[in-house]
Structure 1
């Protein structure tokens, strides 16, 4: 029994450390902040459930390890009602927490609704075998190839599409991901908080040169972005 108690104490210690650990440092984008925050909330459910299941498993193994004549389990209506209600409560918690992320104005694009947080930068990201064409339709249709440059602390709206087959648009560190589909435009939105260069790539196998479909998202200050935009427009 001592080993069983030690195992339970260890599991509880891990749970407490995970629950009360200091939050992660500032996130690079609104999308990353919301998604990582959602993951943290879900841990409040996942860890206790994991600890409970493992505790029951260990208890069962220890108690019945030498049982050579097991008997069938009897129906326990109270237990069944209890775990059904508990499951419903967990699903409700997950649904409400997820909706809070999906409905956030910093990551959900609503056509025709003016953005209250500032004038957004609009980028068209068109995938093809095997590359990308990024353009800024509201800035004189500036085209930049595989480079996206956006200002810090300003909403960014990215319209993703494909010329040929199914592709995928993914920037892991900014928590941006959507499919690039032929004849359909998928829109993602975020606000970048940290300056720097972030790697993006195609996430759907699209042919022999799929592995070469890289692009970059460079987050700069508002002044640097305006200088870059002026340079692009004057070069056309």
Structure 2
């Protein structure tokens, strides 16, 4: 867990990069916030990548299969209860087994699992087979913030939740959220610096941890990867729609686990190129 000294250092670092961070937040002004949780909603966030669409389709297919199986088993149980209760079946059968039936209930589940595997394994392989990157970003999880390095651009910045370490939402935090282009409903979601990527680009994230295991997760992109200290894992995505997308650390990593969100801004190529020029000055390695 973070000591008081480390926490003070983290807060100081957030304050020191404050002006540059809020300058950075002007990129993508007016972008629609697409990938975020909604009050009272169930189901998936809108899919912004091919990977996310694949996951949503697979989830829908599995839901149909398990619903049919559940209905079949429920109906079979109801039929057995009605047909073979003591009143309707006063003389119970005395057989001990039924070989054709036993073969069937062994083979049918195998066929169902093979069918599911035939569709789920390609989705898994697509996630794990990392394509050639247009942009490579190394992300490091810390207690309790993220560090990002654009490895080919000489850019590095830390990303803190807006209002981290300052308690509940208050007027000062709300003002800073508004300055950064967010609203009070984005408290605990928005960060002072965002990952900025161009729409359509293949982005490869190299994921690691500096202290304990974290997990870099953006639901709308269909990506989740543990950040393990001493290991360098990879994930990839290619966002198809400009907008702002939020994620969270998804591996319990200590007392402030709930306060290390992820913000990704997907912008046009022209805006990304302009941001790069500014970021090289504001966030040198």
The bucket for the TM-score relative to the shorter chain is 0.7 to 0.9
Task: Give me the whole-angstrom Cα distance separating, in 2, the residues matched to 1:108 and 1:30.
Answer: 14
Relative to the length of structure 2, the TM-score reads 0.65
Task: Give me the whole-angstrom Cα distance separating, in 2, the residues matched to 1:173 and 1:194.
Answer: 11
- Cα deviation for residue 120 of structure 1 reads 1.8
How many residue pairs end up in the alignment?
204
The residue that corresponds to 2:245 in the other structure is 198
Relative to the length of structure 1, the TM-score reads 0.78
The residue that corresponds to 2:203 in the other structure is 156
Task: Show structure 2 runs of 5+ residues with no match.
Answer: 1-43, 160-193
Distance verdict in 2 for CA 1:81–1:222, change over 3 Å:
same
Specify which structure has the bigger relative contact order, considering alpha-carbon pairs within 8 angstroms and separated by 6 or more residues. Answer: 2
The residue that corresponds to 2:71 in the other structure is 51
Distance verdict in 2 for CA 1:78–1:218, change over 3 Å:
same
Task: Give me the whole-angstrom Cα distance separating, in 2, the residues matched to 1:224 and 1:86.
Answer: 54
Q: Does 1:145 align with 2:158?
A: yes
- Cα deviation for residue 70 of structure 1 reads 7.8
Q: Is the 8 A contact 1:131 1:213 kept in 2?
A: yes
Distance verdict in 2 for CA 1:184–1:151, change over 3 Å:
same
Q: Is the 8 A contact 1:27 1:193 kept in 2?
A: no
Distance verdict in 2 for CA 1:25–1:137, change over 3 Å:
closer
- Cα deviation for residue 155 of structure 1 reads 0.9
Q: Is the 8 A contact 2:203 2:237 kept in 1?
A: yes
- Cα deviation for residue 61 of structure 1 reads 2.6
Provide the alpha-carbon RMSD of the alignment.
2.3
- Cα deviation for residue 69 of structure 1 reads 6.3
The residue that corresponds to 2:59 in the other structure is 39
Task: Give me the whole-angstrom Cα distance separating, in 2, the residues matched to 1:223 and 1:160.
Answer: 27
Task: Show structure 1 runs of 5+ residues with no match.
Answer: 1-23
